Amino acid sequence: MPSPIRRATRHLAAAGFLAAAAAAAVAGPLDKTECIAPAKPGGGFDLTCKLAQQALADAKAISDPMRVTYMPGGIGAVAYNTIIAQRPDAANTIVAFSGGSLLNIAQGKFGRYGENDVRWLAAIGTDYGAVAVAENSPYKSLKDVYAALKADPTKVVFGAGGTVGSQDWMKAALIARAAGVDPKAMRFVAFEGGGEALTALQGGHVHVVTGDAAETSQQIKAGSKVRLLAVMAEKRLDGDMANVPTATEQGAEINWPIIRGFYVGPKVSDADYKTWSDTFAKVMATPAFGKLRGERGLYPLALTGAEMDSYVKKQVAAYRKMAQDFGLATAPAK
Amino acid sequence: MMVLLPGLLVVAGAESWLAWRTAVEAANAAYDRSLLGAVKAIDASISTDSGGLAVELPYRMLEFFELTASGRVQFRVSTEDGLVEIGTAHLPAPTEPLVTGQPLFVDTTVFEEPVRLASYARVLDRAIAGATAPQRVIVQVAEPLTSRKLFTRRLVAQALWRDFVLVTTAALLLLLAVSWALRPLARLRDEVALRPPLDLTPIEPGGVPADVLPLIAAINRHVERTRSLMEARRQFIDDASHQLRTPLTTLTTQLAYVLREDDSVLQRQALGALKLQLDETVRQTNQMLALARADSVEMVRETLDLGHLAGEVTRSWWSEARGHDIDLGLDAAEGGMHLVRGHAGLLKEALGNLLHNAVRHTPGGGHVTVRVSSGDGRVVLAVVDDGPGLPASELHRAGQRFFRGSNAVAPGSGIGLAIVRSIAERHGGSLEVGTGEGGVGFAASIVLPAQGAG
């Protein structure tokens, strides 16, 4: 329990910040902040942390730069366990997570902790699943893939940067299911990451790669000879992906948003949580943030506080059901 | 049973522990094989064609693994330097360096769930991910321990149940066998308990186990000895009472005569005769008591020189012998050459009895010699006289209680030699009788085992 004096100081700080639109130097959770990216440098989590780092700095919500530290393992499992067990009340630390992390929580791959063991803070953007083929692939649309699958599932090899049960596998399984093929009969090759999968795609070792729209479009920009067949979103994406049809347009409704956001430890105080939450809400409402987000290839999704919490819980429940439908092991809500 | 049951339990306990260990090893051997199968299957689906690490894992195979492991199976494929990694990232690294091609099985935990982890390394067929030379790929598969533990527990439970049944059956059989074997003894016990107190007939050993027969035989011998002892006592009491009746009757008659006689001189004569008779009766009674005592007195033995003892007793009889005009001689070395272990008092009494007999039965002018000799592990104490002796046909009855030779003229009870025989036999020796020197007279010899030879 923080002493009454510290509590009073925090309340003063929060009140002061809210009153003044312009940022002034504040004490409390926004002092000497840290963002943990639960992966190796350069991946999606790194991207998420760096986005927050820049956005908060640009909006002068924090006075000293946010540190980014790395804690790889299990798409966030190691960081999750560390925060809950060892730093549950670290108010200055936010941890990046993604839809993939939530999927793993639903499947019990985060150890004995579940979705109720941390405080979900904010979502700063989303990506969407995407289906890519080689430039010279005979498949011109998702419908061609469906047809080929129906004809002979063994002739269509999927590849992705994840193993059975991962997001990318789920995306492929949904495609197979849409084609009327049992996902268990689907051929799937796991690579170390999206990059390697696309390399293999170009080499003809796999025929279809299910990945993330942002990452894939960046690879295409960088020169990869691949083509996007579909995006798994409700409506077409803005920007470079405007002429990529959605999966829904091509016969079956497959939506796969990949949320990117942050959580804090379970014992962070309500006041500190509110400070963070309000800060993010403010920053994400600015047009400057929208620009930053777009630069990083993320699509709009801004949630904080209670709204964020219920989104996460619903998403985890949905993943749980999907995993059960596919016959994968799941962990019950804890 | 008190030793057997705890012993059986200890053995059963040790066997159960062994069974548990064996079950654990069996479970591990069996389940590790299937785990290795999973490792090999994953290894077989590793491909480096695309220039990176790729694993095509058919879903059905994973399903199959999970079926046999009855739980989640996690796997990880990575290059040895860890830079390229597919699968569950947080499997613990192998605890010891992996030998290429040799799987390593350990019990460990993944996020606190106990699992069995198989680790396996082999060399990739080409270099990938910027490495200059082909490096090793490490395949790891983890399965939960629940199946194994269930299997082990079931095996152990079966073994425990078997042991329990075995021990109980063995104990029961043992109980049955022992009680059945002991039934004849119970019957015997009842039989003996129902006997009247003076029933000394041998116990019938029919039907008892062979181990008990020696006991029955020993008891029977003991009972027999008691029986003959009681028989001898009874006989003695009969004889003694019969023997005493006569002198006592005589005494009564003599007393009656004395009371009837008025003449004081005749009275005095009659009283004199009565006194003689009384003396004789007293002596007889004493002798019978001595015989009873000789039979029953506690034998406290000491090392004695029979020569010295003989000399002592003989010298004390000299005056008596002279009074009867008998030449009493001693022929014994007193230098400690004739050593026996015996009761000094009893032996003196025995010698005394023999001397009494000799002096009384040898007429005046005769010779009595006390002789002690040793040889052949025996020491012989003999009293030889040249009196009338015993008729040859009656020699064998000398020493029987209350026997008097047909040619006896002096008064006597017939117990003297019986006392000597009893004393000799109590010393582990014997009484030998025969004629004196030259076939004349009587010779009575106490033969005793020499000291160290008995």
The minimal CB distance from B59 to the residues A75, A159, A184 is found for A184
How many residues are recorded in chain A? 334
Phi, psi angle pair for B401, to nearest 5°: -70, 135
Interface residue B90 vs chain A (CB under 8 A): yes
Interface residue B267 vs chain A (CB under 8 A): no
User: Block means of pLDDT (10 residues each) for chain A, length 334 residues?
Assistant: 64 56 56 88 84 90 89 83 89 91 88 88 92 92 91 91 86 92 88 85 92 85 89 85 87 89 92 91 91 86 91 93 84 72
Residue of B59, B64, B115 to mutate, interface with A, max A Cβ within 10 Å? B59
How many residues are recorded in chain B? 454
Chain B residues near residue A163 by CB distance under 8 angstroms: 55, 57, 75, 86-88
Chain B residues near residue A184 by CB distance under 8 angstroms: 59-60, 63
Q: How far is CA B177 from CA A266, B1, B183, in A?
A: 72, 12, 10
* Backbone CA torsion sign across A40, A41, A47, A51: positive
Please report the pLDDT score of residue A20 as a whole number: 52
Interface residue A82 vs chain B (CB under 8 A): no
Chain A residues near residue B76 by CB distance under 8 angstroms: none
Fold of domain A128-250? D-Maltodextrin-Binding Protein; domain 2 (3.40.190)
Chain A residues near residue B50 by CB distance under 8 angstroms: 191, 196, 199-200, 203, 205-206
Per-residue pLDDT in tens (0 to 9) along chain B, 454 residues? 678 778 878 887 888 788 888 888 888 888 888 889 889 988 998 888 877 888 888 777 877 877 776 677 888 898 887 777 788 777 888 888 888 889 999 998 887 788 899 999 998 888 776 677 788 899 999 988 887 888 888 888 888 888 788 888 988 998 898 888 888 778 888 888 888 877 777 777 776 677 778 888 888 888 888 887 788 788 778 878 877 888 788 888 888 888 888 888 888 888 888 888 888 888 878 877 877 777 776 677 888 888 888 998 999 888 888 988 999 999 887 777 888 888 888 899 899 889 988 888 888 889 999 999 888 889 999 999 988 888 777 777 777 766 776 776 666 667 778 888 888 988 889 999 988 888 888 899 999 998 875 4
DSSP secondary structure string for all residues of A156-168 = -EEEESS-TTSHH
Nearest residue of B to residue A195, measured between CA atoms: B52
The minimal CB distance from B50 to the residues A72, A188, A200 is found for A200
Task: With CB atoms and an 8 Å threshold, state whether A111 touches B112.
Answer: yes
Please report the pLDDT score of residue A156 as a whole number: 92
* Other beta carbons within 10 Å of A52: 26
- B67 CA to chain A: closest CA distance, Å? 11
ipTM of the complex: 0.72
H or E segment and range at residue A120: strand A119-134
Size of interface A-B (CB pairs under 8 A): 90
* pTM of model > 0.80: no
Please report the pLDDT score of residue B298 as a whole number: 67
CA–CA separation, A321 and A306 (whole Å):
23
Centroid of chain to Cα A317: 16
Chain A residues 96-115 with CB within 8 Å of chain B: 108-112
CA–CA separation, A188 and A206 (whole Å):
9
Task: With CB atoms and an 8 Å threshold, state whether B55 touches A189.
Answer: yes
Domain A31-126+257-325, CATH 3.30.420.40 — does that match?
A: no
Chain B residues near residue A78 by CB distance under 8 angstroms: 89-90
Chain A residues 258-297 with CB within 8 Å of chain B: none
Chain A residues 315-334 with CB within 8 Å of chain B: 327, 329
Residue of B90, B124, B138, B141 to mutate, interface with A, max A Cβ within 10 Å? B90
CA–CA separation, B326 and B312 (whole Å):
18
Task: With CB atoms and an 8 Å threshold, state whether A203 touches B51.
Answer: yes
Please report the pLDDT score of residue A158 as a whole number: 93
The minimal CB distance from A189 to the residues B56, B71, B75 is found for B56
SS (H, E, C) chain B: CCCHHHHHHHHHHHHHHHHHHHHHHHHHHHHHHHHHHHHHHHHHCEECCCCCCEEECCHHHHHHHHHHHCCCCEEEEEECCCCCEEECCCCCCCCCCCCCCCCEEEEEEECCEEEEEEEEEEECCCCCCCCCCCCEEEEEEEEECHHHHHHHHHHHHHHHHHHHHHHHHHHHHHHHHHHHHHHHHHHHHHHHHCCCCCCCCCCCCCCCCHHHHHHHHHHHHHHHHHHHHHHHHHHHHHHHHHHHHHHHHHHHHHHHHHHHCCCHHHHHHHHHHHHHHHHHHHHHHHHHHHHHHHHHCCCCCEEEEHHHHHHHHHHHHHHHHHHCCCEEEEECCCCCCCEEEECHHHHHHHHHHHHHHHHHHCCCCCEEEEEEEEECCEEEEEEEECCCCCCHHHHHHCCCCCCCCCCCCCCCCCCHHHHHHHHHHHCCCEEEEECCHHHCCEEEEEEEECCCCC
Task: With CB atoms and an 8 Å threshold, state whether A184 touches B63.
Answer: yes
Task: With CB atoms and an 8 Å threshold, state whether B66 touches A78.
Answer: no
Contact B351, B383 (CB under 8 A): yes
Q: Kindly list the domain boundaries of chain A, sorted by start residue.
A: 31-126+257-325, 128-250
Interface residue B72 vs chain A (CB under 8 A): yes
Reading the block at residue A184, the tokens are 């268990």
Task: With CB atoms and an 8 Å threshold, state whether B84 touches A192.
Answer: yes
